[in-house]
Structure 1
């Protein structure tokens, strides 16, 4: 895609970019004129589908495998973005896992898995982003509306996303003087495979009715908020933006 202003395209890395919200974000940023590195963990075919969809729409993208909790692999992800496109301007850390259980019945192995991906992964990705994102850039983490909703069975997941909130607030302050914003989006119930997995129709309908708009969010709804933070929102910094259709 050619920028009619003649400006150099911005470069975005999207972790978890091969499916669900991450795919919608990658495609939206590409549609906005960015060159996108689609980070993925274990499904190269699905990542290639995203890259092909972006190319078919006139954008530029490449898929790069990386375990977000592995320091060496994340460093290599950023290295590849710089090798391909010359730098990094936007990092969207959308990779995450959600494993639900009442606290009293929680398998601690599930807690450890979410800690590794959702908390350690955010630290690892944000550390590289803090070192490499160019002036005028943006770092966007993914929190969740369940941090404040307090839904039963979400305690471990909400705890992991509460940690993301804290990382976001503090990193924004640590990057003083860099002209790099750090924010998080906190989706509400959104129609993705991650969210719908294991829920029966009645549960999904109940969650859809929670918002005054009386529907589940769509990945495109979340991508719209990310695009705002990645582009024009230069005076929004250190915030967690709840993108949930008005759920209290």
Structure 2
């Protein structure tokens, strides 16, 4: 197998066999880095750490402290949320599920199901159970016809609408456990790093932001690689709410008593 040159951010170059993955590159540098790596970029393109690199490339490896690492972690967590919802609420249909600045959301059509904040603990419990299965998150290239059949057979009309607008030859799916999603990625390698889960809120959202289209339920959540990080985040959230209430209280007083 031919060798390729991999250039690192500091300008250094190392040779690897063609087909090497960012995870294997990390392993060659340090076992700790290999444990911490969540995502990569190859020639400035977002890249899964288990996806082969077949030509000379510049590479960057991202951990939790990097925005790109958090993005891949939370994007993968959105898929985990969808898998849990699929298990708990049979018949739900899926819109989109991106990472956002703090966490992620998934837009779903609940069908005959009603989802309320009372369901949050069991959604969180199911997400953690699935995460602990340490399922690999597997990327696959798929033809447009096969994608339309795959999602059409499941009655996923929202996904089929998105697929119909994509160019053939550029469509990928990601599968973990029993859940397959239409997605560009990148994702973390397995569900194993997801150790703490919080479903934070629900909101209404029109499909593709169009009030003439179906109204979906947007489920928001956040995840962390350590329980302690979630605890600290929830404390900060509570403090921010208190500050907002104090500020609001002063403003209301100001408006109530100003002449």
TM-score (ref. length: structure 2): 0.24
* Structure with the larger helix share: 1
TM-score (ref. length: structure 1): 0.25
Higher-Rg member (1/2): 2
- Structure number with the bigger relative contact order (C-alpha 8 A, sep ≥ 6) is 1
* Structure with the larger strand share: 2
